[in-house]
Amino acid sequence: MGCECSKLSCCLTSEQNGAVQEAQNAENEEKSEVSDLPAFREYTVEQLRIATSGFAVENIVSEHGEKAPNVVYKGKLENQRRVAVKRFNRSAWPDSRQFLEEARAVGQLRNHRLANLLGCCYEGDERLLVAEFMPNETLAKHLFHWEAQPMKWAMRLRVALFVAQALEYCTSKGRALYHDLNAYRIVFDDEGNPRLSCFGLMKNSRDGKSYSTNLAFTPPEYLRTGRITPESVMYSFGTLLLDLLSGKHIPPSHALDLIRDRNLQMLTDSCLEGQFSSDDGTELVRLASRCLQYEPRERPNPKSLVSSLIPLQKETEVPSHVLMGIPQGGEAMFLSPLGEACQRMDLTAMHEILEKLAYKDDEGAATELSFQMWTNQMQETLNSKKKGDAAFRHKEFKAAIDCYSQFIDVGTMVSPTVFARRSLSYLMSDMPQEALNDAVQAQVISPVWHIASYLQAAALFALGRENEAQIALREGSVLEEKKNTTSSK
């Protein structure tokens, strides 16, 4: 540890230059990264209902669960873009115009340090926000509730810098107020990079409260006035630095007592032993102390935070997903025979597997019930399905499409398997877009059905959309693994 400290001063200049260069490179990359994002738009409730499979419980990703006032769902739009949809309770944002204005203003921001806002919906009592989906959990999960490995020191410093850069960008665009900055507001993207959720740039609801966390963590001036200022955001950033340093959510008053008593060992996460020099630890504590000053005017601004954090960056050449231990798309997936068949576009093998599966995953949705009195129309509908099944079995795919379409168009009964079979029939008939639409519809009906994801992958491969196909394939693999794990318990 001692030699590391002595090396620090002589290495600082070159390291700082390297880190500054990296920051400039990241800034230059920003245009290309962010230009891929669509402009802010308004969605209908129906579009978002389809995207989230009817706001299915299985698609809830927010930590606070189904009964929270604001629930976040994962979803997939028609163009296959994955999104996070935040649904407010009915008493929030009674003024739709105020909601739209606020959402539009946040939706103008575009930065690679943010989980950007893509759109909103304000039909009737519904108030929903649509943002980029970040698949790799929150900072709270990785910091407080980790399973595989504790977060490394280098990654914690990267989180601090990237969040400071996000705040600096927002401030430069006139959005300096961030509501309730905490470890749940920081999410990780496909590459394992931390991003600041755009949801915190909007007010929580009509009561205007900016902090939902324990009062022990709120800025002192907020307790006095009930108002948030840019300096209040810096105070919250200080509590975030304490989280990163300690691996726990320590109340600032307790942390400041430890700092005054020079009891830094009690403040530091024991999992970090040997990962950083005492100088670096002291500097992070100093930064946290500055952010936690009682007087708002004595706290730093985002720009000075970025300047202070850049020299501290370690292992800058190591990708975030490596530091985080997050598997990447190119790494091996454990695929079932159906997943493998979809990956190599072996339509014959896919047909054999779907034929053997029959209707086992429909949970009775398309089952004939002998005790139910069928009208003539319902009987005809079932006959259409039977004819479709016979055509599918005999590989008469045009006929299968016609018969399954008759069954689907009546709409009396809903069957994900029928959509899956028609999807494959479309693929066999060289109609990949129609196949994709049916695979998506199968997932709307059954949100956690892995076969729907696999068929989406096959259709996307056929459409030449390789990256999206790989994502759908991985989603199918994850869903299938979860299903197998659950059934084996």
The catalytic residue positions are 180
Question: What strands, in cross-sheet order, belong to the sheet with 194-197?
Answer: 114-115, 194-197, 186-188
Q: Where are the alpha helices (DSSP H) in 247-364?
A: 252-260, 264-267, 278-291, 302-309, 320-324, 337-343, 347-357
* Alpha helices (H) along 185-330: 220-225, 230-246, 252-260, 264-267, 278-291, 302-309, 320-324
Taking the CA atoms of 64, 68, 69 and 73 in sequence, report the sign of the dihedral they define: positive
**Could you tell me which residues come within 8 angstroms of residue 273 by beta carbon, excluding any fewer than 6 positions away?**
none
Q: Edge-to-edge strands of the sheet including 117-121?
A: 41-42, 117-121, 128-132, 82-88, 70-76
CA proximity to 179, closest of 112, 229, 133, 128? 229
Total Cβ atoms within 10 A of residue 91: 12
CB 68 within 8 A of CB 55: no
* Alpha-carbon gap, residue 168 to 298, rounded angstroms: 18
For helices 450-462 and 347-357, the axis angle rounded to 10 degrees is 160
Residue 389: both structure tokens together: 């099944």
Cα(347)–Cα(403) distance, integer angstroms: 20
- CA-to-CA distance for 443 and 441, rounded, in angstroms? 5
Helix (H) or strand (E) holding 42: strand 41-42
